[in-house]
Chains A and B, each alone.
Chain A
Amino acid sequence: MNVKEIRSLFPILHQQVNGHPLIYFDSAATSQKPLPVIEALDRYYREYNSNVHRGVHTLGTKATDAYEGAREKVRRFLNAKSAQEIIFTRGTTTALNLVASSYARANVKEGDEIVITYMEHHSNLIPWQQAAKQTGATLKYISLQEDGTIDLKDVEATVTPATKIVAIAHVSNVLGTINPVREIARIAHDRGAVVVVDAAQSAPHMKIDVQELGCDFLAFSSHKMCGPTGVGVLYGKRELLEQMEPIEFGGEMIDFVELYDSTWKELPWKFEGGTPIIAGAIGLGAAIDFLEQVGLDAIAAHEHELAQYALERLADIEGVTVYGPKERAGLVTFNIEGVHPHDVATVLDAEGIAIRAGHHCAQPLMKWLNVTATARASFYLYNTKEEIDTFIAALQKAKEYFSHVF
């Protein structure tokens, strides 16, 4: 993988921030966009912007082909059986809410259980809290090991025959833990539950095969994987999606409309009410092409190397606590003794380094870690070891600065 060449495709990276070359370590929040994606959006708006699925005219056909072509790219990207299993949504949050609202309401009843983990992002937590409240089901949590991993024994103990849904992050946005989704799915299926995977932090960084994972639903966002904001994907097994009712009604999703009743289009369109996210889906398609061209295995290996290097270098700084296991995805969440994470982020920003500070939309996990906030540096295919060296030097400075002002 030629990182220099890759970087040349990301115009935003070639700028100074506060007098220093930008080092972007916040890709877990949102990734930067390469030229092929920017150009695909530009081309759509310049050359064939049109509504889909209705125009007889040439541009409408072109737009429809590109939109449905993007769906086929997503199908291939996930190795789903059929493009009918791919629904475009506004993002991971909307996709998970669709499952929680439609599937859960129809299939979960009082006395049933919904199982999640302590490491879930709020988007894979609150929809289930709400679903549990509305259906009278019990929300249960799979506990975490000391190092922030999940022990399958705890999964076996928590998931029971009363469990109807197990919802789990593929990769934790705070700990970087890569969860054993395939094994968890096997346990869940043994007990008759469906498995929902939040792949927001995995789809951008590693190869995903929904048939191999054995999951029933899987959700991810385009903007974290080099694509535009405002679009994401819900994958669902066809037999499940077919039974599910839409949660949004209007144009595009209907078959016949009468005065007092209507029928829905077939999959996947019955879940895509209103003019769909045409440009977004086309941009996501271009992002998938780009990531596949670089190679997802190569990206995963590069990020693994960066994360291991960052862990090694952070261990040299006295007073640094790193959260999560050694084997992890491409991010490190940490705290420096005596310096609040917001202050760390401000000092780093003055050096042109963008990191995230706060609770990372995972308040229950922060509680489990017994911290109110943490700092997080997250890496992607365009980051380098040299950037990590600069980051480590800036952290040293932050520490010194705060010991100096005290």
Chain B
Amino acid sequence: MSSNHPLDQLYRQVIMDHYKNPRNRGVLEGTNVDINMNNPTCGDRIHLTMKVEDGKIADVKFEGEGCSISMSSASMMTQAIKGKNVEEALRLAHIFSDMIQGKEYDDSLDLGDIEALQGVSKFPARIKCATLAWKALEKGLHDH
């Protein structure tokens, strides 16, 4: 298949890599943040466990079921927030939310792999897939 398929801006290589080889997959035992979230309209679900110590996300894992966008987004999210403090993680979630909706976003932080999801903003039907893991993160940190 040609490399300039119209879907390439959605299904970037790095996204597919995270989908196929998810980072931080699993469930952490004895954690202080444990969140289940699902997208009732499509059936995607995520189970996010985090160990938050001294305002810092010491460890994080996710388990779930869903499409390439939702699962790769979850994988990238865990990769990005691991080791960050809570405020930084929430700031990242905010930037992600702006980016995925196609709004202007704060690019002073290095988003790394996450930036690959920018193309999702052109596919309105899929934005909810990308945001599921981040919503779980925000809920988990707020409830904490």
A346 in the interface, Cβ–Cβ < 8 Å? yes
Contacts of A18 in B (CB 8 A): 6
A171-213 CB mask vs B (1 if < 8 Å, else 0) is 0000000000000000000000000000000000000000000
Q: How far is the CA of A366 from the CA of B129 in the complex (A)?
A: 19
**Measured CA separation A406–B10 after assembly (Å):** 14
B20 touches A406 (CB 8 A): yes
The answer to whether A373 and B6 touch across the interface, beta carbons within 8 angstroms, is no
B41 contact set on A, CB distance < 8 A: 358
Main secondary structure of the interface of B (DSSP, over half): mixed
Say whether A340 contacts B68, CB under 8 Å.
yes
Considering the complex, which residues of chain A in the window 377-406 have a beta carbon less than 8 Å from any beta carbon of chain B? Answer: 397, 400-401, 404-406
- What's the nearest-Cβ distance from chain B to residue A20, in Å? 11
- The digit string for B27-59, where 1 denotes a CB below 8 A from any CB of A, is 000000000000001111100000000000000
In the assembled complex, the Cα of A329 lies from the Cα of B43 at a distance in Å of 25
Closest residue of chain A to B71, judged by CB? Answer: A340
B144 within 8 A of A: no
Name the A residues within 8 Å of B42 (CB-CB).
342, 357-359, 373
Least Cβ distance of A122 to chain B in Å? 11
Near A by CB (< 8 A), chain B positions 13-30 give: 13, 16, 20
Contact B16 A405, beta carbon cutoff 8 Å: yes
B1 at the interface (CB under 8 A from A): yes
Residues of A within 8 A of B10 (CB): 346
Q: How far is the CB of A254 from chain B (nearest CB, A)?
A: 38
> In the bound complex, what is the Cα–Cα distance between A363 and B44 (angstroms)?
12
- Judge whether B66 is part of the interface by a CB distance below 8 angstroms: yes
Q: Which residue of B lies closest to A397 (CB)?
A: B1
Contact code string A332-352 (vs B, CB < 8 Å = 1, else 0): 000000001111001101100
When the two chains form their complex, are residues A346 and B7 in contact, meaning their CB atoms are under 8 A apart?
yes
A-chain residues with CB within 8 Å of residue B69 when the two chains form the complex: 342-343
Query: Is B5 at the interface (CB under 8 A from chain A)?
Result: yes
Set of chain B residues within 8 Å of A342, measured between Cβ atoms = 42, 44, 66-69, 126, 129
Q: Are A401 and B5 in contact (CB under 8 A)?
A: yes
A82: interface (CB < 8 Å): no
A343 to B7, CA, bound (A): 10
Q: Is B7 a contact partner of A358 (Cβ separation < 8 A)?
A: no
Nearest chain A CB to B68 CB, angstrom units: 5
Q: Please report the C-alpha to C-alpha distance between residue A350 and residue B45 in the assembled complex, in whole angstroms.
A: 25
- Assembled-state Cα–Cα distance A343/B65 (Å): 13
Considering the complex, give the chain B residue whose CB is closest to the CB of A405: B16
- How long is the Cα–Cα vector from A357 to B129 in the complex, in angstroms? 13
B1, B45, B67, B126: which contacts A341 (Cβ < 8 A)? B67
Nearest chain B CB to A336 CB, angstrom units: 12
> When the two chains form their complex, are residues B67 and A340 in contact, meaning their CB atoms are under 8 A apart?
yes
Interface string of B69-103 (1 = CB under 8 A from A): 10000000000000000000000000000000000
- Given contacts A340-B67, A358-B43, A363-B43, list 17 more A-B pairs with CB under 8 A: A340-B66, A342-B44, A342-B66, A342-B69, A342-B129, A343-B68, A346-B10, A346-B126, A350-B6, A350-B7, A358-B41, A372-B44, A372-B66, A373-B44, A401-B5, A404-B1, A405-B11
